[in-house]
Amino acid sequence: MQPIRYIRPSTVREAIAAHASLGDGARYIAGGTTLYDLMKLNIERPTGLVDVTFIEGLETIDTSGDTLRFGANARMADVATDPIVQSQYPVLSEALSKAASQQLRNMATVGANLLQRTRCMYFRNGYGGASGGAADYPCNKRIPGSGCAAIGGLDRGQAVLGVSDACTAVSPGDWPVALVAMDARIEVAGPGGERMLPISELYPLPGETPHIEFTLEPSEIIVGIVIGKNAAGARSTYHKIRDRESFAFALASAAVALEMSGDRVNAARIALGGVATRPWRADAAEAMLIGSDLTDDLAMAAGRAAFADAVPGRSNGFKVELGARTVADAIMIAAARRPL
């Protein structure tokens, strides 16, 4: 049995200090819905847990000014059902309400959601299970340099965008995809002070170092998420395609937000999930829409443009067509929504 120190700070600064004092084995813990899972699988073996759930004010939701601000400890369920978020930013509300299950959303927090790790089955199943024995499968994310069993293996769920020779694991979250489409910024605090991190910069491509999954510095804590209010929010959707209609991760998903006058698209924000190694901004698809009158054919062309650089493996090529159609459908769903 491995002893674990448990610390319950009451301020952000105390949390950072506690984390730093515990060293490499320290982990923040919020709802625990990801971390405890990974501990049971022996993928995470923390020597100290810094429980952030008792930090006062970290759960605040504020939609009153020019921005939407969600404290890191706001529960997924509470943000999903916030009246302003639901009515004026359906892309955010739907990304949360289509994730996990109601019980999980009641526990899980929107800050920690950004840091969930891949569901690649070789990553999750290759550690000798609960016995903690030798790895059954190589995984460069888990053990750098050990190889990747998914490449050339059972790769139906793997990514087709942003892949490398070292890793094809999908970035699993729904919420980060919506946040990338909305250009969210992350409030981060650490031993060196506070900073604002554009969400797109939180997730590096796997390249040769897929074990580096986030760009947070040691002991940095996520304090909040900030989104500038914008008109595209009202004409938006998060469209998620999965093997079953609830309680499943995305095979392909698209977050779309549009500004239109009549049929003409003035601004487009599109990001993809379930198909890429990080939440994926689809710039080419956006460019194809902007300045044109929207039709079904144009939406489909934009969907195809989003996957022009796809690199399928053995058995995940279906994601290219599925993904393109998911984007096209999402564009038409968003367009049909009228700003209030």
Ligand X SMILES: Cc1cc2nc3c(=O)[nH]c(=O)nc-3n(C[C@H](O)[C@H](O)[C@H](O)COP(=O)(O)OP(=O)(O)OC[C@H]3O[C@@H](n4cnc5c(N)ncnc54)[C@H](O)[C@@H]3O)c2cc1C
| 31 belongs to the binding site for ligand X (CB under 6 A) | yes
Give the relative orientation of helices 318-336 and 296-306 as an angle to the nearest 10 degrees.
140
b vs e for 69-92, b when ≥16 Cβ sit within 10 Å of the residue's Cβ?
bbbbbbbbbbbbebebbeebbbbb
Q: Would you tell me how many other CB atoms lie within 10 Å of the CB of residue 340? A: 6
* Segment interacting with ligand X (CB under 6 A) among 27-35, 290-298, 300-308, 316-324: 27-35
Q: What is the four-CA torsion angle of 323, 216, 39, 207, rounded to 10 degrees?
A: 50
Q: Retrieve residue 268's tokens.
A: 């487009």
User: Nearest approach, Cβ of 249 to ligand X (angstroms)?
Assistant: 5
Least distance in angstroms from the C-beta of 145 to ligand X: 22
Contact string (CB under 6 A) for ligand X, positions 98-137, x = contact: -xx---x--xxx-xxx-xx---------------------
Question: What CA–CA distance (Å, rounded) separates 52 from 134?
Answer: 33
Residues within window 245-274 making contact with ligand X, judged by CB under 6 A: 249
Task: Determine the interface stretch with ligand X among 24-32, 147-155, 224-232, 253-261 (rule: CB under 6 A).
Answer: 24-32
Q: Minimum CB separation from ligand X for residue 175, in Å?
A: 6
Residue list 35-74, contact with ligand X (CB under 6 A): 35, 37, 52, 72
Report, in angstroms and rounded to the nearest whole number, the Rg of the chain calculated over CA atoms.
20
Of 30-38, 204-212, 226-234, 319-327, the segment contacting ligand X by CB under 6 A is: 30-38
245: which 2 tokens? 């209609």
**In whole angstroms, what is the distance from residue 166 CA to residue 144 CA?**
9
Q: How far apart are CA 108 and CA 262, in angstroms?
A: 40
Do residues 70 and 224 make contact, with C-beta atoms less than 8 angstroms apart?
yes
Q: Which of residues 197-256 bind ligand X (CB under 6 A)?
A: 221-222, 249
Size of the site for ligand X (CB under 6 A): 30
Q: Which is nearer to ligand X, 6 or 295 (CB)?
A: 6
Closest distance to ligand X from the beta carbon of 143 (Å): 18
Tell which one of 33, 93, 164, 219 touches ligand X (CB under 6 A). Answer: 33
Which residues of this protein are in contact with ligand X, per CB under 6 A?
27-35, 37, 52, 72, 76, 99-100, 104, 107-109, 111-113, 115-116, 173-175, 221-222, 249
